[in-house]
Structure 1
Amino acid sequence: MSIKIDARGLACPKPVINTKKELDNIEEGIVVTTVDNETAKENILKLAKSLNCEARIVDEKENLISIEIKKGNNVVVQKEESELEYTCVFISSDKMGLGNDELGQVLIKGFIYTLTESKPYPKHILLVNGGVKLSAENEATIENLKILEDAGVEILSCGTCLDYYNLKEKLQVGSVTNMYTIVETLKNASNTISI
């Protein structure tokens, strides 16, 4: 069995996620992913290594790179005991990282999307300061936050922050929270990821 994935032109992390989905759907076989940049190639090779799969470049010319991943009995299967893990994702900006704001917005969009594709999901997502814009203004992140909310993730946006940015009436996903709940949620989480 051989599955072909055309991941040309797809932004990170979609080439990896699309490849992992196909690998998850088969017990054994070959998945060939075609990408058009070096970063995507390296990310696909890292995915294969993390899954203990054989991977090799089968074609590389100009801007097209095809990577063959062979899945068999050697694959490490991750057990998922629960759809939710007592992890809290704390997001304080509508951008990810420091530097270029436009790049930061692309990165945060990619981060939220990747959360929808990576289980177990966190139990909570806390949005504070500029992070509340992700649940009220940013259509791309709102769509993915709704996917997480539908799966049981509690999306909490700081009420003071929503008021400050005049966004309380525009909240489209999750609920309004307060500082006490934010502190308690952070204290009770077994793991916190801060963005």
Structure 2
Amino acid sequence: MIKVNAIGDSCPIPVIKTKNAMKEMTGPDTIEVLVDNEIAVQNVTKMAQSSGGKVTSEKVAEKEYRILIAMGEACAAKDSEEVSCIPDKRGSTIVVVSSDRMGSGNDELGKVLMKGFLFAVTQLDELPKTMLFYNGGATLTTEGSDSLEDLKSLEAQGVEIMTCGTCLDYYGLKEKLAVGTVTNMYSIVETMDQATKVIRP
């Protein structure tokens, strides 16, 4: 694994450091990049994906984000690609998830659809500002959830992940929250009230 420490660096330095690490590769390898802000995560992710890398990211501490880039045999940084500092991808939309399944009918199908929905959110050109999880949706942010990788990637890119504390208590999952923070009903109502658009799967 090649390690790149870009904590404290402003754009475009994290991208340049990552590109240089790609050029030093002699075969398939993984690059670990550490940065301290969400915009750096977005910039490095965009460049790595355009170079053929498979990218995952997570927030590991306050102002510390870890990006893993898996590069294959034919992958390399593109010299002709212009290094640019993209703006914050988050809009003012919020996503409200009140169940661990999407739609009504077959429960197993509903769970598959919800997993697909959360992955699709990670692919949006403009990410939501906040994602709220309550009632059955609270189980999606806890240990064992099939969507944790997608939610951690969204959090690393600055999306606020908030889960209802009362709901976690009800399901006995308070100690198993694996992404985001615990919130309360007042905060949930306030967040929904201030949103310009609310998406409900």
Q: What aligned pairs does 1:104-183 form with structure 2 within 5 A after superposition?
A: 104-183=110-189
Code of the aligned partner of 2:148: I
- Matches of 2:171 and 2:145, distance apart in 1: 17
Deviation (angstroms), 1:194: 1.3
Matched, 1:93 2:112: no
Q: 2 CA distance for matches of 1:119 and 1:126? A: 20
Superposition TM-score, scaled by structure 1 size: 0.58
User: What secondary structure is seen at the aligned counterpart in 2 of 1:166?
Assistant: coil
- 1:118, CA displacement in angstroms? 1.2
Distance 1:81 1:151 in 2: 12
Q: What is the root-mean-square deviation in Å for CA atoms of aligned residues?
A: 1.9
Write the distance in 2 (CA, Å) between the matches of 1:133 and 1:174: 12
Q: Give the structure 2 partner of residue 187 of structure 1.
A: 193
Find the residue that maps to 2:146 and give its secondary structure: helix
Secondary structure at the counterpart of residue 111 of structure 1 = helix
SS in 1 for 2:100: coil
CA distance in 1, matches of 2:171, 2:104: 21
Change (3 A) 1:95 1:137: farther
How many residues get paired? 120
- Paired residue type of 2:130: H
| d(CA) in 1 for partners of 2:145, 2:133 | 15
Letter of the 1:190 partner, please give it. Answer: T
CA distance in 1 between partners of 2:119 and 2:154 (Å): 9
Per the alignment, residue 68 of structure 1 pairs with none
**Conserved 8 A contact 2:90-2:158:** yes
The answer on whether the counterparts of 2:139 and 2:145 sit within 8 Å (CA) in structure 1 is no
For residues 81-104 of structure 1, give each alpha carbon's deviation from its aligned partner in whole angstroms, at most 9, with x where no partner exists: 640010010000000000000000
Q: Matched residues in 1 for 2:127 and 2:136: separation?
A: 23
Letter in 1 for 2:116: G
Contact map agreement 2:93 2:195 (CA 8 A) in 1 = yes
SS at match of 1:140: coil
